Amino acid sequence: MTATPPPPPGAPTPPPTLAVAESIAAPAAPADGLVEHRFPCEQCGADYRYDPAQGMLICDHCGHSHQIASSPWGKAQLKELDFDAAVAHRLPETETEETRTVTCPNCGSHFEFDPATHAAECPFCATPVVTDTGISRQIKPKGVLPFAYDERAAHQAMSDWLGRLWFAPNGLKDYARKGRRMQGIYVPYWTFDADTTSSYRGERGDVYYVTRVVVRDGKRVQEQVPKIRWSPRSGRVARFFDDVLVLASKSLPKRYTDALEPWDLAALEPYRPEYLAGFRAEAYTLGLEEGYGEARAHMARVIERDVRFDIGGDQQRIHQINTDVRDVTFKHVLLPVWLAAYKYRGKTYRFVVNGRSGRVQGERPWSAIKIAIAVVLGLAVAAGIGYVAAMNQ
């Protein structure tokens, strides 16, 4: 991935020496045109990795540290791109890049591998994978949310989460706690901004009560009966949507990744490859237009809520909503996830940890033995209570 995107329009041009100072190593340019980044230690030449605990590059060989330089353009570098231009393939060439990815034959995930690695396991489903030479052109990431949890902290969060699952098999708990390393992966997301104005037609329902006389137990009594008075309503609502987040990966169940929210997107940093040192990055498999479709569905739900609030009353009927969407922009961002995929008794269990907050989600394993014991104990307790009740009669 290209280390430094071009400056935004109107940004000051950095001095010639600044570009050299920003990166500790210039990317190598292989014959196939792809850019590969290495970050050799200034003291011993071994590779640096990004350390979430210290927020800098650390050499595991000699312990030397290196601060990641700030972007000369700051947060302005996170400016969104025009959606219509991207759909029409009119984005500047500097906003796209060619990447070499590996495709898992089992789950279909696309992720980057260290060029020196030729075989490993898929981090998403634990399937053995042999690297290939898949090359694709993709939109560059604009921003990255650096890891704040290191592997040890993420593993502890996962172990604590499993420990609270009483019906999980003990064998899986022990295997996960003592098991293999977790994979730190930057997962791709789209964010969308849009300005919307919606006109609507509907009805407002106001509850009122009428009194009627009924006979109960041989007596005439009055009761209040609710009725609804409907009246036509129409109007307009407007909303600006900022950073509607859409998962751009199909490798993990969406219900798990959605449950990792919220993400502190205000802490996004302009993309720099140094943040990826020692981690893997997944290539997006949900295209831009498909991602926008999901974003529009989210916007529609929010707009419907706004319309109901605008109609007011106790109940609402919505007959029609016409929405004008303008100035749609987007950006491709990478968010940090720790991933563990374990194969236990022939089944794959996946657990994900939010690399910023430590929130854990995953497949909930069930132990048939524990469930059977719980059922037997429940029946025994019920029988005991029944016996005591019978003796007291």
pLDDT 10s digits, 185-211: 899 999 999 999 999 999 999 999 999
pLDDT for the residue 368: 47
Give yes or no for residue 2 having a pLDDT over 50: no
pLDDT band at 243 (very low <50, low <70, confident <90, very high): very high
Question: Is the pLDDT at 239 greater than 90, yes or no?
Answer: yes
Asked if residue 154 belongs to a domain, the reply is yes
- Residue 374 belongs to some domain of the structure: no
**Choice between 134 and 363, residue whose per-residue pLDDT is larger:** 363
pLDDT band at 371 (very low <50, low <70, confident <90, very high): very low
How confident is the model at residue 199, as a pLDDT?
98
pLDDT of 136 higher than 90: no
pLDDT at 260 exceeding the cut of 80: yes
Residue 227 lies in a domain: no
CA separation for the pair 355, 196 (Å, rounded)? 33
Confidence of residue 127 (pLDDT cuts 50, 70, 90): low
| pLDDT class of 15 with cuts at 50, 70, 90 | very low
What's the per-residue H, E or C state across the chain? CCCCCCCCCCCCCCCHHHHHHHCCCCCECCCCCCCECCCECCCCCCEEEEECCCCEEEECCCCCEECCCCCCCHHHHHCCEEHHHHHCCCCCHHHEEEEEEEECCCCCCEECCCCCCCEEECCCCCCEEECCCEEEEEECCCEECCCCCCHHHHHHHHHHHHHCCCCCCHHHHHHHHHCCCCEEEEEEEEEEEEEEEEEEEEEEEEEEEEEEEEEECCEEEEEEEEEEEEEEEEEEEEEEEEEEEEECCCCCCHHHHHHCCCCCHHHCEECCHHHHCCCEEECCCCCHHHHHHHHHHHHHHHHHHHHHHHHCCCEEEEEEEEEEEEEEEEEEEEEEEEEEEEEECCEEEEEEEECCCCCEEECCCCCHHHHHHHHHHHHHHHHHHHHHHHHHC
Indicate the range of 73-87, 137-151, 317-331 predicted with least confidence.
Answer: 73-87
How high is the pLDDT of residue 365?
A: 56
User: Taking a C-beta distance cutoff of 8 angstroms, is the pair 368, 205 a contact?
Assistant: no
Any domain includes 264: yes
pLDDT of the residue at 307: 98
Of 5-14, 166-175, 269-278, 376-385, the range with the highest mean pLDDT is 269-278
List pLDDT tens digits, range 75-126: 667 889 999 999 999 999 889 887 766 677 666 666 665 544 444 566 666 5
In a domain, 221, yes or no: no
83: Cβ–Cβ under 8 A, 6 or more apart, which residues?
192, 288, 292, 328, 329, 330
- Tell me how crowded residue 359 is: count the other CB atoms within 10 A of its CB: 16
- pLDDT for res 194: 98
Closest CA to 139 of 92, 186, 102, 185: 92
**CB–CB of 342/162 below 8 Å?**
no
β partners of residue 247: 189
Q: What is the pLDDT of residue 219?
A: 87
Query: Which of the four pLDDT bands, split at 50, 70 and 90, describes residue 175?
Result: low
Percent of the chain with pLDDT over 90: 40
Asked, for residue 42, whether it belongs to a domain, the answer is yes
pLDDT tens digits for range 333-351: 999 999 887 766 667 778 8
Q: Which domain holds residue 113?
A: 16-199+235-362
pTM of the entire structure? 0.75
Q: Are 142 and 271 in contact (CB under 8 A)?
A: yes
User: Can you state the angle between helices 151-163 and 170-178, rounded to 10 degrees?
Assistant: 170
The backbone region for 89, taken as left when phi is positive above 0, alpha when psi lies in -120 to 50, beta otherwise, is: left
Instruction: Tally the domains of the chain.
Output: 1
Tokens 């900022």 correspond to 242
- Most distant pair of Cα atoms in the chain: their distance: 98
pLDDT at site 128: 61
Residue with tokens 């190598």: 28
Q: Is there a contact between 43 and 66 (Cβ–Cβ < 8 Å)?
A: no
Greater model confidence, 15 or 279: 279
Give the pLDDT score at 381: 62
Amino acid, single-letter form, for residue 132: D
269 lies in some domain:
yes
Give the mean pLDDT of the chain: 78
Distance between CA 367 and CA 166 in Å, rounded? 9
Residue 367 lies in a domain: no
